[in-house]
Structure 1
């Protein structure tokens, strides 16, 4: 306990205190934005007749984040985190304003994509700031605090968003978050002035990553759009089906071609160590975020619960996430084993959530079960963040942080887009609250938790050494098999 307290004291030392306060402010605002938007989306879809495209509003945010993440990774290594932070702020606010003023659901989706692009820039910049400003020994405490920054938004975000939606309309949920995000970045901006570039990668290499980023985002967009349209189409012609299938296949092929170059070598085949650590983040995100995006819709449509009350499940997950991250900051054994523990707990809790949904258990059971899922995610994801920075040379923290976020976001895209496609395929417009539809979605996503356990076990196999032993190859699968 004294050792942990000492780490916390170093993280909040006078020279670092303003920076950590600013970072926590950014994460708090991002958390509030996420909680508020998820809570308001059932009302948005109902008013703008966007139920069949509901999942796209979430997956497009993550798809655009992929592009922002790839660009920001090399940019932060070359120019430092400040430019990416500024561009990310501008895009996020622009997207929120666009979504809040949108007259049609597809324009809401476009606004979410613009916000996602900004979010991709901002999160990589924050990771680089942490890697460059805080000693490695206190980084677990910092990531624990980042998870704790979700507590207040998790408690009050859904309640406030539900109240605003019911009293003033869902548009004010989007419009009201914008000035809060601006204020958070203003706090941290002066404290990042000294964080310039570490190295100067070849321009051609950075340009190639940007091209791959565009190709990755384009491929993901094409695949998910085609799948959702195919599932939603009523009596489509053979030509239309063929065109959509070809578009989906082409998108997937493009992703498989460009993705390996953006991740550590061996990530897609679960090579031991760093590659599997990054893969685990994406795999568990498929399950968690795919389910969470549809929980409010399920509760509102099948049980007639108001949006604010339905958001309690999100609050429970945020609290659990913070608790799980709090635990990981205090472990004394090999941190890598928390990846396995987190994936295992997630598998058990999501299985319980499937059962609770099927038997229409009381709301408090769903809230408690999803809170446990959140704790599993906090334990696993915060540990993965620390491990990636530990295994990265300082000059490669931007690219490795970008790889971690690419895995995160791609997992979220697969989860939300896949859940959206299943919902579009299975749901009955005359009975939008049909419980078996949601149970089928939960079961399909549960399979990924088992894959997360396997990936976590592979990630746990690495030598206890930092980037100093392998500084030049942290993006090339340096961990011995």
Structure 2
């Protein structure tokens, strides 16, 4: 007999193996993300691909949309086990291709494949959480995932910079590929024999209405491909003359807005209350943060002559603050409520973005960036897991895969498009001697727009719905 809900923890005997395995995957994803952000300025210079700097980030996020849609639909139909394993394998293949690349186009190809795997892995893990952990543990498990960034954040950027500086940047990709292969085996062993197809004690899900299942899935995949291709095109627009690049980028953004609507909850693009606003805010906040973060180490290295190891300190401080903010959210999120959490996180990020913008504009006090980026990371740490918990709170067993997929699609698409636009702004609208001020200014504007859905999040279903066994999350 399982432990009573009040006594259940994410570390009890029933869930210990799954918690450990999934946290290891998050740990390695953290290592990879922090390492690539640190070394990418060196990669672009070494492979003579400065114009493709932004698309090396945006492309991974864009193809992640395809992985998310496929993994979400696959998980809803057959459980998250096979989607998770496939995603991990693609992630490893992409890392190997990127690590062995001899030109920027090959590296981008590896990053595109890596994105397919990374996106699918994220959604599959969310569904694993929904299928294995009771509602009252969701905040805790997501806080544990955030805590898995603590060690990578302390050593990841510095280690990646040191590896690139004293060995070679290729090991930032190949080393993670080897470790992920080991984690793959660990996760497969931990999940063996665990029922991931249904919620314990619940009846079989009723058939969905509307189009046949195959047609629905095919349509969603086709739309995801359109979104991904259009986002990548926005990134490549920076490689063109502004007269051609900007119209192409504008047309691509319009295509994304058209294609992405069926992949998100109804009303998302107009910031309808509750779940639609949760999903929209995730995309806008992610876009603002990651577009700025992609250029933080680049600015420190190119404008202020920081070494890769020292430039990585800004990412270290930010990631540590992110983990701390996530821990605070896990403990006090329900007590503070979504409105207060949104206001606090927005203010912290505005301090970070605005401060870095000033440093970029006046070309002075570069060390302040390390502290300022900690404020930005702390704000994201408060906001990110809260939005994930709310998404599960507004979900049922029949749409957990779709809603988890929608949250991640919004996250990746918002990041990919904003990073791509930042790259176009960087090369076409230099201010104060460089494109850095306009990039950080874009982050401030996008974050302010995110405040609109932020005030319409809600706090999830009422407590009785959760206690009665309904899968809606707090």
- TM-score after normalising by structure 1: 0.88
CA distance in 2, matches of 1:230, 1:250: 11
CA contact 2:271–2:453 (8 Å) conserved in 1: yes
Return closer, same or farther for 1:289/1:381 CA change in 2, 3 Å cut-off.
same
What is the CA deviation profile of residues 270-317 of structure 1, one whole-angstrom value per residue up to 9, with x for unaligned ones? 001111011111111111000001111111111111111111111111
> Residue 439 of structure 1 corresponds to which residue in structure 2?
437
Using the alignment, how far apart are the partners of 1:83 and 1:376 within structure 2? 34
**Structure 1 pair 201–191 and aligned structure 2 pair: CA distance change class (3 A):** farther
> What's 2:202 paired with?
none
How far is 1:347 from its partner? 2.1
Distance 1:229 1:404 in 2: 25
SS in 1 for 2:335: coil
Residue equivalent to 2:349: 346
Structure 2 equivalent of residue 391 of structure 1: 394
1:314 aligned onto 2:315: yes
Asked if residue 325 in structure 1 is aligned to residue 326 in structure 2, the reply is yes
Partners of 1:262 and 1:403 within 8 A in 2: yes
Residue by residue over 1:136-162, the C-alpha shift from the partner in whole angstroms, topping out at 9 and shown as x without a partner, is 112111111111111111111112111
Report the Cα offset of residue 207 of structure 1. 4.0
Supply the distance in 2 between the matched residues of 1:41 and 1:421 (Cα, whole angstroms). Answer: 17
Residues 139 and 385 in structure 2, CA contact (< 8 A), matched pair in contact too: yes
Deviation at 1:355, TM superposition (A): 1.7
Matched, 1:411 2:414: yes
**324 and 472 in structure 1: CA distance in 2 versus 1, 3 angstrom threshold:** closer
1:336 pairs with one of 335, 338, 348? 338
Given the alignment of the two structures, is residue 97 of structure 1 paired with residue 68 of structure 2, yes or no?
no
Q: How far is 1:131 from its partner?
A: 1.3
Query: 2:405: which partner in 1?
Result: 402
Q: What are the superposed Cα offsets for residues 231-256 of structure 1, whole Å, 9 maximum, x if unpaired?
A: 433597xxxx3xx6665455334322
How far apart, CA to CA, are the structure 1 residues paired with 2:355 and 2:242? 36
Q: Secondary structure at the match of 2:462?
A: coil
Runs (4 or more) in structure 1 with deviation over 6 Å come to 6-9, 466-474
SS at match of 2:435: helix
Tell me, yes or no, if the aligned pair for 1:343 and 1:456 is still in contact at 8 Å. no
Does the 8 A contact of 2:322 with 2:381 survive in 1?
yes
Quick one: structure 1 residues 261 and 79, their matched pair in 2 at CA, closer, same or farther if it must change by over 3 Å? same
Describe the SS at the equivalent of 1:11. coil
Residue from 214, 229, 245 that aligns with 1:221: 229
Other-structure match for 1:108? 107
SS at 1:285 equivalent: helix
Post-superposition Cα deviations, 1:75-134, rounded to whole Å, max 9, x if no partner, equal 011111111111111111111111111111011111001000000111111111111111
Q: What is the SS of the residue equivalent to 1:10?
A: coil
Q: What does residue range 30-41 of structure 1 map to in structure 2 within 5 Å? A: 30-41=29-40
How far apart are 1:471 and its partner, in Å?
11
Larger mean CA deviation between 79-88 and 184-193 belongs to 184-193
Cα 1:303–1:90 shift into 2, 3 Å: same
CA 8–372 in structure 1, closer or farther in 2 if over 3 Å, else same = farther
Correspondence 1:233 to 2:236? no
Cα gap change, 1:73 to 1:234, in 2 (>3 Å): closer
| TM-aligned CA deviation for residue 388 of structure 1 | 0.9
Equivalences for residues 186-265 of structure 1 within 5 A: 186-193=185-192, 194-198=194-198, 199=205, 204-222=212-230, 224-225=232-233, 227-234=234-241, 241=244, 247-265=248-266
**Aligned residue in 2 for 1:146:** 145
Aligned-pair CA distance for 1:343: 2.3
Q: Which stretch of the first structure deviates more once superposed, 189-198 or 458-467?
A: 458-467
Contact 1:93 1:178 in 2 (8 A): yes
CA distance in 2, matches of 1:205, 1:248: 34
1:423 aligns with 2:429: no
Identify if the C-alpha distance between structure 1 residues 398 and 230 changes in structure 2 by more than 3 Å, giving closer, same or farther: closer
Over 3 Å counting, the alpha-carbon distance change for 1:468 and 1:151 in structure 2 is closer
Structure 1 gaps, min length 5: 1-5, 429-433, 475-481
How many angstroms does 1:179 deviate by?
1.3
Query: Quick check: 270-279 or 168-177, which moved more?
Result: 168-177
Report the alpha carbon displacement of residue 356 of structure 1 after superposing the two structures with TM.
2.9
Q: Given the superposition, is the C-alpha separation of residues 382 and 206 from structure 1 closer, same or farther in structure 2, using an over 3 Å criterion?
A: farther
Structure 1 window deviating more from structure 2 (462-471 vs 103-112): it is: 462-471
Q: Please give the secondary structure, in 2, of the residue aligned with 1:137.
A: helix
User: Secondary structure of the residue that 2:399 maps to in structure 1?
Assistant: helix
Check the 8 A contact 2:318/2:378 in 1, yes or no: yes
In the TM superposition, what are the counterparts of 1:455-474 in structure 2 within 5 Å? 455-460=453-458, 464=462
Deviation at 1:228, TM superposition (A): 4.6
Match of 2:452 in 1: 454
Give the structure 2 partner of residue 478 of structure 1.
none
- Alignment RMSD: 2.7
Change (3 A) 1:184 1:7: farther
After superposition, residues 127-142 of structure 1 pair within 5 angstroms as 127-142=126-141
Secondary structure, aligned partner of 1:459: coil
- TM-score normalised by the chain length of structure 2: 0.89
What is the deviation of 1:458?
A: 1.1
Q: In structure 2, how many angstroms separate the alpha carbons of the residues matched to 1:466 and 1:57?
A: 47
Separation of aligned partners in 1, 2:342 and 2:184:
31
Contact kept in structure 2, 1:280 and 1:339, CA below 8 Å = no
